[in-house]
Amino acid sequence: MLRSLFRKRKDNEIEQVIEQFQNGDVDQLDDFIEQYKPFIATKVSEVCKRKIEPKYDDEFSIGLIAFNEAIEKYTPDKGSRFLSFASLVIKRRVIDYIRKEKRNDNYSLDEREEDMENPYEIKATSEQYQKQIEIEQRKEEIRHYAEKLKEFGITMLDLTEHSPKHKDTRETTLQIAKTILQHENLKRQLFDKKKLPIKEVSDLVDVSRKTLERNRKYLIALVVLLSEDYIYLKEYLKGVKK
């Protein structure tokens, strides 16, 4: 009964509607969300193990926000259907909310994916969701990194223009960046004054001041990168060593 209610539209029709919303045609968005409020309430109830009252339960509001998030982030390229993807997003957002607000770690998605028809779809939907999360986190890292570099008068375009072309130079500059971080006085000077202490660094490493100055922006960028917890951006360092 519930399944037929939630699938008033055929799956391919739903995907077409989602594509229209993503392309900016949102005239029917409110009606679409209103139609699927019972679907949202059911998915939230499955997580909470009780009937959810949309007017009174905060968890429903979280589910509503998650459903809208699913509309924005859904892509059909992994083979999952929109409702399966939305179900996963809703459940994970509600679980995150419960853990944060109620300090309850006894909820798991693994037992609550029965609305998906087969294990292959579960896998495809989970992979798609994880991919979207990683994209968002990578974007956030780049934004944060760009803001940090701006403090030193460096732009992302500067990095493209000033990155050493030779492998040996890249490796040497990486080692110098690590050396700077190992010396608290050099690190403090760099971050406090927003300026590379060329003389002090040249006294520690076997590189001329002229070379340091030529690679100054790239060197500073490496120090900033190494000093922060950039999970995705630090993958770039693997290329530095190649």
Domain final residue pick, 81, 102, 137: 137
22 and 78, same structural domain?
A: yes
| One domain for residues 15 and 94 | yes
pLDDT at 80: 63
Task: Please check whether residues 21 and 109 belong to one and the same domain.
Answer: yes
Q: What are phi and psi of 175, to 5 degrees?
A: -65, -35
**In terms of Cα–Cα distance, which of 159, 168, 147, 164 is closest to 228?**
147
The domain total for the chain is 2
Picking from 115, 137, 159, the residue at the C-terminal end of a domain is: 137
Asked whether residue 166 is domain-assigned, the answer is yes
**Own/partner pairs, 148-157, CB within 8 angstroms, 24+ separation:** 148/224, 148/228, 149/220, 149/221, 149/224, 151/194, 152/194, 152/195, 152/217, 152/220, 152/224, 153/194, 154/217, 154/220, 154/221
Domain identity same for 36 and 112: yes
Domain span at 232: 151-240
Is the residue at 143 inside a domain?
no
109 and 11 within one domain: yes
Q: Do 111 and 161 sit in the same domain of this protein?
A: no
Q: Are residues 133 and 155 in the same domain?
A: no
What average pLDDT does range 24-53 have in this prediction? Answer: 90
Quote the pLDDT of residue 3. 42
Q: Does 106 fall in a domain?
A: yes
Same domain, 60 and 111: yes
Residue 174 Cα distances to 68, 109, 139, 150, angstroms: 43, 42, 24, 20
pLDDT above 70: residue 167: yes
**Overall average pLDDT of the 33-53 stretch:** 90
Q: pLDDT of 94-129, one tens digit each?
A: 888 888 776 545 544 444 444 444 555 555 566 666
Same domain, 74 and 165: no
pTM value surpassing 0.75: no
pLDDT of the residue at 85 = 83
Whether 45 is in a domain gets the answer yes
What confidence tier does 155 reach under pLDDT thresholds 50, 70, 90?
A: very high
Using CA atoms, how far apart are residues 219 and 225, in angstroms rounded to an integer? 10
145 occurs within a structural domain: no
Share of the chain above pLDDT 90, in %: 36
Q: Same structural domain for residues 56 and 159?
A: no
Per-residue pLDDT of 188-239, as tens digits, reads 999 999 999 999 999 998 888 999 999 999 999 999 999 888 887 887 776 5
Residue 85 placed within a domain: yes
The whole-number average pLDDT for the span 78-95 is 81
Q: Is residue 142 part of a domain?
A: no
Q: Is residue 146 part of a domain?
A: no
**pLDDT over 70 for what percent of the chain?**
79
Average pLDDT of the chain, as a whole number: 81
217 versus 13: the higher-pLDDT residue is 217
91 and 176 co-located in one domain:
no
Say what the pLDDT of residue 173 is: 93
Residues 172 and 230 in one domain: yes
Among 137, 165, 182, residue at a domain's last position = 137
